[in-house]
Structure 1
């Protein structure tokens, strides 16, 4: 049995978070080679929607993680699994890191590349390396977020396998997507925003977004009670 109002809140957060994150990502420019700083910074400097798209991404991530925190709160009342408690702590930590990441990527980096783009030739090198330093901080935060988010999602999947509220295939999506996302973070730590990192992160992110969308739909339709049998 789940509290109806909290279940609806989690459902709305999960679905709305997915929508905002997808829209924000759609408007985010993707350079041919993200590790080519000159190419990337040139595109970023000319993007008028940069800050807005990143704030939209942040809002989406916060809503999704809020849904997970609410789910953990609901399930701890009916489940003996300690995974929910640990996973909820991970979700809270992810919100903090996501906010720091967007402060660096969505605001500080944009301002830095704007300064670099407008700087006179004599000062372009200094401005470029200042922006590049911010870029490295972005890589560090993005890598850490991917690893922690992946572990958190996997923990939610393990918790869902241990109770009767979620079908096993939904839990499996969380474990699969979470493991791949954590691997993405490790690859990013060593290679930056590389082609290999993108090759892993794109399908991993899609799996996690699908997982959260399915959870949102199930919770909205449940009306306070899970009726979907485990299979």
Structure 2
């Protein structure tokens, strides 16, 4: 059949080859995903370094006094939100790039995307509560007259408990998103499969954090899941970044 624009006797034109030096179509969005994910981790880590947390987090009088003295509290939480937004953006781009196989994996990718977007929305609300509302509450408590301190402290503690609940469910959603995205990575086989395994393990760490925070608050019991989540996200985000920029397309 003669194609539109093809003259009689003219051989069909071969497909247009990629220009020299330009990455193939799959590589460019994969690089974007890897860059966004790693940038999100890095921004969150740097912002967290400035977070006031020398006092035990569940020792509310000591913790609230420390928060009240912090002059960059709101800015730190804005930085943490920016980091989470970049990380979630990287996950979403990755889920699109992977082009999950049909059937169960296609739905897994969709549920992973929904969980990721929900986690980001809840994280925005969490940072508004922690970075803005709690800061104003502890400032009011610190500046209150002695007769008013008890009531002001009760308000701040109520906001703190609200933070526990929001942080718990945000961790559940983020953990679910990472587990589902990890399953898609392993199934799609368009990047190294260990990246998917590490991603899923980081999701399990966040699921554990969600349970501990919801039942006990910011206790030392949450230290190991928190550190595990940090190390695992660092591992898979760096691996994804290097694979996207310097590696070859992998099927396993």
Question: CA RMSD of the aligned region, Å?
Answer: 1.7
1:114-139 Cα offsets, whole Å, 9 max, x none, are: 11111111111111111111101100
State the match for 1:120 in structure 2.
Answer: 145
Contact 1:14 1:67 in 2 (8 A): yes
1:99 to partner: Cα distance: 0.3
1:67-105 Cα offsets, whole Å, 9 max, x none, are: 1111111223x6332221111111111110110000001
Q: Which has the larger radius of gyration?
A: 2
1:188-231 Cα offsets, whole Å, 9 max, x none, are: 11101111012322222321233223223322335xxx52341x
State the match for 1:79 in structure 2.
Answer: 101
In the alignment, does 2:78 pair up with 1:55?
A: yes
- Which residues of structure 2 form unaligned runs of 5+? 1-23
Q: Which moved more, 1:28-37 or 1:184-193?
A: 28-37
Pair 1:204–1:19, CA change in 2 (3 A) = closer
Q: Which moved more, 1:187-196 or 1:207-216?
A: 207-216
State the match for 2:90 in structure 1.
Answer: 67
In the alignment, does 2:89 pair up with 1:44?
A: no
In the alignment, does 2:128 pair up with 1:106?
A: no
State the match for 1:17 in structure 2.
Answer: 40
- Which residues of structure 1 form unaligned runs of 5+? none
**Bigger helix fraction:** 1
In the alignment, does 2:246 pair up with 1:221?
A: yes
CA distance in 2 between partners of 1:51 and 1:35 (Å)? 20
1:148 to partner: Cα distance: 1.2
Contact 2:190 2:250 in 1 (8 A): yes
CA distance in 2 between partners of 1:150 and 1:112 (Å)? 30
- Give aligned pairs, total: 226
Q: Report the TM-score, using the length of structure 1 for normalisation.
A: 0.91
In the alignment, does 2:223 pair up with 1:194?
A: no
Please point out which of 182, 189, 205 is paired with 2:207. 182
Contact 2:26 2:97 in 1 (8 A): yes
Contact 2:191 2:249 in 1 (8 A): no
